[in-house]
Amino acid sequence: MSPGLHTKPAVVKAASALLAEMKDAASSLTYAALLTDDGFDVARLPGQTDGARFAGMASSMQALGDAVAHELKIGTSEYIIIASGKGYVVQLRVPGQELVLSALFDNDATIGTALAVARSFAQKMADLLK
pLDDT, tens digit, for every residue of 34-52? 999 899 999 999 867 787 8
CA distances (Å), origin 109, targets 32, 75, 83, 112: 14, 28, 12, 8
Looking at the predicted structure, is the pLDDT value of residue 8 above 80? Answer: no
Distance in angstroms (rounded) separating the CA atoms of residues 110 and 90: 11
Write down the pLDDT at residue 1: 42
Number of Cβ within 10 Å of residue 12's Cβ equals 16
Taking the C-alpha atoms of residue 22 and residue 18, their distance in angstroms, rounded to an integer, is 6
Q: pLDDT (tens digit, 9 = 90+) per residue, 63-112?
A: 999 999 999 999 999 999 999 999 999 999 999 999 999 999 999 999 99
Identify the pLDDT of residue 46. Answer: 87
Fold category of 5-129 in CATH: Beta-Lactamase (3.30.450)
Q: What residue ranges do the domains of the chain occupy?
A: 5-129
Residue 18 pLDDT exceeds 90: yes
